[in-house]
Chains A and B, each alone.
Chain A
Amino acid sequence: MPATWIFLIVLAIAAIGYVLGRSRALASASGDSRNLHSLPSYYGSHVALYVAVPSLLLFGLWLVVQPILIERHVQTLIPEASYQNQGELNLLMSDVHRIASGLDFAVDYGALGAQQALDLDTDTSDIRAILASVGVALGSDVSTQTLDAAKRYRALSATGDIFRSIAVLALALAGLGFAVIKTNRDFRARNAVERVILSLLILAASLAILTTVGIVLSLVFNTIEFFKLYPALDFFFGTTWSPSFGGGSQLGILPLFWGTFYISLIALAVAVPIGLFAAIYTSEYASPKVRSMAKPLLEILAGIPTIVYGLFALLTVGPGLMAVFGPNGGLGWMQGGTAVMTAGLVMGVMLIPFVSSLSDDIINSVPQSLRDGSLGLGATKSETIKQVVLPAALPGIVGAILLAASRAIGETMIVVLGAGAAARLSMNPFDAMTTVTAKIVSQLTGDADFASPEALVAFALGMTLFVITLGLNIFALWIVRKYREQYE
């Protein structure tokens, strides 16, 4: 039975359970819902939850575990002589998968009878031709072992699916029976539903946390793997970045780091003053009408995808800068349109709404009484802002800037399109440079061999970046929280 059907049937049983539970509860209270402990709908929900939650959990678990178990078993059918390492085994296994799913297709489309598919033999029939006729292309002729493994795979999957349907539906019905029997007028269905809801919420939260942990662990393990192949000291203090997949790479992080730092610095130099002044204008000077127009307009900037900013850098800002600072502009500082300056300026524009929107909120949360106090002493508006409002809002503004900084450090698309791909240590902001994130992309695009330091270095780069941005974020949150304590 296909997975979708099982899912729908479970839901249907749950719906029936809802009605059953509700009516049974009402019947036990002789039709008057005031005699029930909980509202009738709680009794219904209680039964529905008992039907759906355990059986769907089992269903999900089964979907994950069954292929793993079958895979393990089928692997043992392939003779060890036919492969030398894990990579070749993986290739063989993917052949097995293709043949198995190809046979499924063939049966579905009627190219093979169900029994025929089971009796197939490499000597008597041309499996490549049969599968090609239903649109599954195979790279090579099928060996007997592979075909056997594929047949075995199909057989096991089919039995597994049957057991799955039985187990899931049986559990659903058991849940239905159990919950319906429990239902009577004194049963505290409301509290039971509350507990189930609580555990569902906890489940959602822990899934999110577990995913984070998983991401971090995969970074950590691959980073350790990388440092086994490449000395950590050379990685952190090397000044040359020249990966070559043929071997003999120099993988020093410093040029990438410098590029990241330099571009972020220019971006912040653009975004912080503009964003902050914009925030001061919208929060302190603008009339409510102007503010209600200007703020959303500024925030539109935050909604532009970064690839669009990248195009803007590549097609507009780069050539524009070339016209002034390039060889034709007379200054000759700039050799090409892609440069630290190009990416930095565009990234700065991208960050303006981050700084302005957060700062605006923070400036607004400075109590009006402080402004009144300062104005009442005969200070002008700008004196008040400079000497009272901004110092009071400073921790929050610093937090906003740090959040913008971690955004800048993690930005990739603008760098790829705007700053070029050359890893170099240079002071000239009109040189092409590149950043950690851009290099992670270039190390992992294409056919990456995850056993080589050239590919694994991406994880070490990612890990370093993660630690830095995490540190910045924690620092920013700490500052913001410290600030909050002052006024609330």
Chain B
Amino acid sequence: MYDSPTLETKLNTKNIKIAADNVQVYYGETHAIKDVSVQIQDKTVTAFIGPSGCGKSTFLRTLNRMNDTIDICRVQGNILLDGENIYDPRVDPVQLRAKVGMVFQKPNPFPKSIYDNVAYGPRIHGMSKSKADLDQIVETALRRGAIWDEVKDRLHAPGTGLSGGQQQRLCIARAVATEPEVLLMDEPCSALDPIATGQVEELIDELREDYSVVIVTHSMQQAARVSQKTAFFHLGNLVEYGDTSQIFTNPVDPRTESYITGRIG
């Protein structure tokens, strides 16, 4: 099933959160993802690395069916979340996305207050019984997003007025507020300065206690810092997947080695 025999022994199948099996993605005629199979563990940070256009973001977006919003995109193969195929016709993609939250490359707070930004998901999904309940959910989410102390005095100020790093943490808090089981992050730090990046990375590490986190990143240092598992994509193929330490110190595939040493990319 795997290219590398070492992986099979290391993966403990008991806490597999997402299992992708022979996934193909097409954009019109373009074959963007070729035959990708990967098993993502619970309570782990998994990093997707690879050169631009290698399909890592596309694959990330298949995990919560965000690709459904693109007309010309077709997905084949199975992706199991807790053993259930998310591409089964009976699965409601809207419900799925509440379970598999997503944080985007550019901070995208809604043009609403900080409070309303975080309360957006819980309100849509009817997660609170009362105003006090909702207040509690918002506070918890903001605390988890490590931004509560900075915004607690101005919860009703517009979210767009925050700095870039604060906005991204607000977006993480917003994603956390719907109590997802998996958190997908598409280059969450690419628009941030090093200090804000550090704060977000710290946050990702904390989030690992409760969630399975999948992060797409261009920065190999970042992948090395925050992730326990790393997958290397190249030209739509999953080249290598394994423990981060192993990928960065002792890659099996020559292409992985070329990439992490800076020869392709």
Contact = CB atoms under 8 A, between A and B. Distances in A.
| A, B: real partners | yes
A133 interface: no
Nearest to A376: B102
A374 B106 contact: no
Contacts of B71: 287-288
Contact of B112 (A371, A378, A379, A391): A391
B98 A378 contact: yes
Contact of A376 (B97, B109, B111, B125): B97
B104 interface: yes
A376 B64 contact: yes
Contact of B108 (A373, A391, A486): A373
A380 B160 CA distance: 23
B110 A376 contact: no
A378 B66 contact: no
Interface centre among B66, B95, B97, B178 (most CB of A within 10 A): B97
A387 B110 CA distance: 9
Contacts, number: 71
Interface residues of B, number: 29
A383 interface: yes
Nearest to B174: A377
Contacts of A371: 69
A372 interface: yes
A379 B102 CA distance: 12
The residue in B94, B97, B110 that gathers the most chain A C-beta atoms within 10 A of its C-beta is B110
B207 interface: no
B104 A377 contact: no
Contacts of A370: 108, 110-111
A369 B120 contact: no
Query: What interface size band does chain A fall in?
Result: 20 to 34
B124 A392 contact: no
A378 B178 CA distance: 9
Nearest to A392: B111
A373 B110 contact: yes
B188 interface: no
A375 interface: yes
Interface string A81-93: 0000000000000
Interface in A383-411: 383, 387-388, 391-392
Contact of A377 (B69, B101, B106, B160): B101
A377 B175 contact: yes
A391 B66 contact: no
Contact of B66 (A288, A372, A387, A392): A372
Interface string A349-377: 00000000000000000010111111111
A378 B121 contact: yes
B110 A388 contact: yes
| Residue with the highest number of chain A CB atoms closer than 10 Å, among B98, B103, B112, B124 | B124
A372 to B, nearest CB: 6
Contacts of A367: 108
A375 B69 contact: yes
A376 B175 contact: yes
Contacts of B111: 370, 391-392, 486
Contacts of A377: 97-98, 101-102, 120-121, 124, 174-175, 178
Contacts of A387: 110, 120, 124
Contacts of A374: 110, 120
Nearest to B123: A387
Interface in B88-105: 94-99, 101-104
B104 A369 contact: yes
B66 A375 contact: yes
Given A370-B111, A378-B121, 19 more contacts: A370-B108, A370-B110, A371-B69, A372-B66, A372-B102, A373-B104, A373-B109, A373-B110, A373-B174, A376-B104, A377-B97, A377-B174, A378-B99, A378-B178, A379-B120, A387-B120, A388-B110, A391-B110, A392-B111
15 contacts: A288-B71, A367-B108, A370-B108, A370-B110, A370-B111, A373-B108, A373-B171, A375-B69, A376-B104, A377-B102, A378-B125, A379-B120, A380-B94, A391-B110, A486-B111
